[in-house]
Structure 1
Amino acid sequence: MGLIPAITYLFLMFTFIPFMFLKYGGDNSTETHNSNGFKGLFPNSKLSTYLSCLLSLESMILLGLLDDLFDIRWRHKFFLPSIASIPMLIVYYIHFNKTSVLIPRFVAKRLPDYIISENSINLGWLYYVYMGSVSIFCPNSVNILAGINGLEVGQTIVITVLLLMNDFYYLVVGAGGNVDAYSIHMFSVCFLIPFLGISTSLLKYNWFPSKVFVGDTWCYFSGMVFAVVGISGHFAKTLMLFFIPQIINFIYSAPQLFGIIDCPRHRLPKFNKDDGLLYNSYTEYEGEGNKPLNLKLYPIMNFLEKLKLISLVKKQKGDKEIIIKSSNLTIINLTIIWTGPIREDKLCLTIMILQFAVGLTMLILRHSLAPMLFGFDNSWTMLNRFY
């Protein structure tokens, strides 16, 4: 089902092209401004960025569809978004090729002058590795934090709302009349508002009890929407602030994802049809075909259990107590550890509220601490360094 809203989104974005880039009654190759200083339409030079973003999204939809059809193994599909990001990164290289990043002033003062240039450091080709990593992380992080009705779509709605709040801050308050700042955040809004529309429509059918399942196509597509917005809008670092729950989920899941602890094919919570509640799912270490838990991990597992970061099932074997089960390492299961058995819709809503609370906190800190760390906050100041 994720394919239908993704294609609908692309059709909408194609339809917007004449209204965003066609200058009626004049030449749009030059930058003209209206009375408030903002270019009423984007200049033609921005069209290549716009089309490259759409091409990356199309590629990601295709890759997601292939995953839904052929069930590609995680180790093989993890890097697929980097392929889809190539059009966007190539256009960035041709038109901008700016690879400097801002660093805090207290760090800049301690680095030699030949490394630092006006409070920024040039990463060179490593900057493209970073942007490629953002393209890989965003789709995969949405895909990993999934498995209950409404969560795949719900988390993308929350992130979209947070990004729009950041954009409207600059459009209303933060741009200070600067055309470049206004333009890049308006460009972001043009991508996010249609996405918010199709997401809320999809959530109606994906909410518990779900009538449709979005599949990997939606997860990859929605994550790539955030990646193209963050990269094309030059605020990839701010974007990562809104993905903190996904980052925590990835770190928390890493022992299973990288084979330190056995990882079952599916790590979804278990549904109990008798009471209609979700319970923790477990990885089993005993029985035929199950990989036993490494004894060296016992102290760590017991320590995490005391912190209520994991649930263990143990049994006595001789004079020793052995671990026969441990809860799967996802923040979905972690939330159930903290709340106890819970209805699926309440679990999804809890995680969405947590996502919004963390994101809103990061947004406030972003615009309050940035002036102290970097000496300014407005994106136009950074853009003036680049253009």
Structure 2
Amino acid sequence: MTSSASSTRAASPNGHGHAPTPPLPPTTLKQENAALAAGIPSVLSNSETYSLLALTVACATVLGNTVRRDDGAPLTASLALSGIAFAATYAMIRWLGPSFVRAGIKGADLNKVQRRTLPECMGAVCAVVYLLAIIVFIPMPFYKDIVAATSGGGNRDVVLPEIVPAAHVEQGRLLHRFPHSKLASFLSAIISLQSITLLGIGDDLFDIRWRHKFVIPAFAAIPLLVVYFVDFGVTSVVVPTPLQPYLGELVELGPLYYLYMTAVAIFSPNSINILAGINGIEVAQSVVVAALLVFNDALYLLAGPYPHPATDSHLFSLYFLLPFLGVSLALLVHNWFPARVFVGDTYCYFAGMVFVVVSILGHFSKTLVLLLLPQIANFIYSAPQIFGLIPCPRHRMPRFHARTGLLEPSVTAWLPDRQPKPPIVWALRLLARLHLLRMTTDPKNPEIIQETTNMTLLNLWLVWRGPLREDRLAIEIVVMQTLVGLFGLFVRHRLALLIFKEDNLGAVGY
């Protein structure tokens, strides 16, 4: 549950928590501060200052010019705010890092020869800047409704005749034209994101036990589900063409569909949190998923004829994803190998909930599931340790070998008098034969299991590829995430036509 191969917190199902470092003797404290100062400069260089200032001024100018457009140019405004959010996040991470350390919000980077103490919970900075950017952005999509349709004065500029037509009285004045349902989507999204951010900060500060926090994202998703029910309410799914003669074109799931969306809301934040343990991996995987969702949105916006029926939904998605990419890229610069900050659980929950927001209110939750296939695989593979069928060590992150400087799979040790039960032994040996696990047995008695590699995707990748540098492992996992995501979009928009009559983009199968 960390942002890098980090420090020393209580045991968690993903096996790599990190907690505030305990008080140190004066000599050790001086060494720690020296390592800290070497690892995280708190002052922006001149080139960084000028670059960020130039980016901010350019984006602010673009943002100011959008008010001259009749429609407010919300997509352009979102891009401009994303640039400003990048600059603000980049600078604030640098400025606030030492303050977090002094407050005890810090952790040790374990997978290094010289362990450095780095500021923790920097995902909170990222999330706060993002939420402020979204709040500032809210008027932009409603510019024509607020200003163009009402001259900026609501209904005050409307002069009613002495005899008011009945139809006008029934419909109200211009206020009835305002898209309140669209505004409700923005507000519910902000409530959900604020709720999940508070959960992440609480977890980083107080180390909430995994089983207590696992279902909390479902409560954060309640505003989204209420808006979905009121504004959209579709709970039917299209039946594959070969089965339509037996089941009809649609199957109504009713409450089961809301349970499905709740499951997505629970899984997405936790899945980012579980696939963690090396520098940069949480932010990098989130950036890839967000970029693929942006690509998916662009497919709909560029599809003819324009506007596509799903245009508003995918514009809504872009409005939330573009600032997310801005703040995440700024965080990734500091969290990539060798990390200068840790993102903490706050970022993992926050990133996962952003995906939940855009997929539920954008009506493409099944597409999100396709993009999270690596996270799903990691969860299924980790399930025996997560649910206690196999012992879960305190740290399941890959093991650093100081002599070679490479990462190797971490292991679970089995004592001779505490061997797994026969069904577990059979499963472990099967996984070992399938090269999905590395097992070490007693040379004198092969029936005795001494070690098995921990069951995470990162350790499995090292079983397949052999020892790797930390940054190389992160790059390969990110490339895998990208390729699997692109294949998921190909399945969604092309292979689906083999069993469905039509794709949402308008392509026709059969």
Q: TM-score, normalised by structure 2?
A: 0.68
Residue 274 (structure 1) aligned with residue 403 (structure 2): yes
Q: Contact 2:301 / 2:308 at 8 angstroms: preserved in 1?
A: no
**CA deviation profile, 1:312-332 (whole Å, cap 9, x unmatched):** 111145x55311111000010
CA distance in 2, matches of 1:268, 1:345: 14
Match for residue 281 of structure 2? 151
CA distance in 2, matches of 1:348, 1:303: 28
Match for residue 323 of structure 1? 449
Q: Give 2:190's match in structure 1, choosing from 48, 54, 65.
A: 54
CA distance in 1, matches of 2:362, 2:150: 25
Match for residue 366 of structure 2? 237
Q: Give 1:211's match in structure 2, choosing from 318, 330, 340.
A: 340
Q: Contact 1:140 / 1:219 at 8 angstroms: preserved in 2?
A: yes
Match for residue 157 of structure 2? none
Match for residue 364 of structure 1? 490
CA distance in 1, matches of 2:369, 2:446: 44
Question: 1:70 Cα deviation (Å)?
Answer: 1.3
CA RMSD of aligned residues (A): 2.0
Residue 135 (structure 1) aligned with residue 256 (structure 2): no
Q: Give 2:232's match in structure 1, choosing from 96, 112, 115.
A: 96
SS of the counterpart of 2:138? helix
Q: Contact 1:21 / 1:44 at 8 angstroms: preserved in 2?
A: no
Residue 378 (structure 1) aligned with residue 504 (structure 2): yes
Q: TM-score, normalised by structure 1?
A: 0.89
User: Counterparts of 1:287-326 in structure 2 under 5 Å?
Assistant: 291-316=418-443, 319-326=445-452
Match for residue 311 of structure 2? 182
User: Counterparts of 1:162-177 in structure 2 under 5 Å?
Assistant: 162-173=292-303, 176-177=305-306
SS of the counterpart of 2:451? strand
Match for residue 60 of structure 2? none
Unmatched 5+ stretches in structure 2: 1-121, 155-177
Q: Contact 1:99 / 1:122 at 8 angstroms: preserved in 2?
A: yes
Match for residue 181 of structure 2? 45
Unmatched 5+ stretches in structure 1: 30-41, 382-387
Match for residue 26 of structure 1? 149
Which structure has the greater CA radius of gyration?
Answer: 2
Match for residue 228 of structure 1? 357
**CA deviation profile, 1:330-381 (whole Å, cap 9, x unmatched):** 0100010111110000000000000001111111121112233221112689
Q: Which moved more, 1:4-13 or 1:64-73?
A: 64-73
SS of the counterpart of 2:136? helix
Runs of 4+ that moved beyond 3 A: none
Q: Contact 2:301 / 2:307 at 8 angstroms: preserved in 1?
A: no
Residue 286 (structure 1) aligned with residue 415 (structure 2): yes
**CA deviation profile, 1:13-38 (whole Å, cap 9, x unmatched):** 00111111232231499xxxxxxxxx
CA distance in 1, matches of 2:192, 2:288: 23
**CA deviation profile, 1:124-167 (whole Å, cap 9, x unmatched):** 11111111111001001000001110000000011011111111
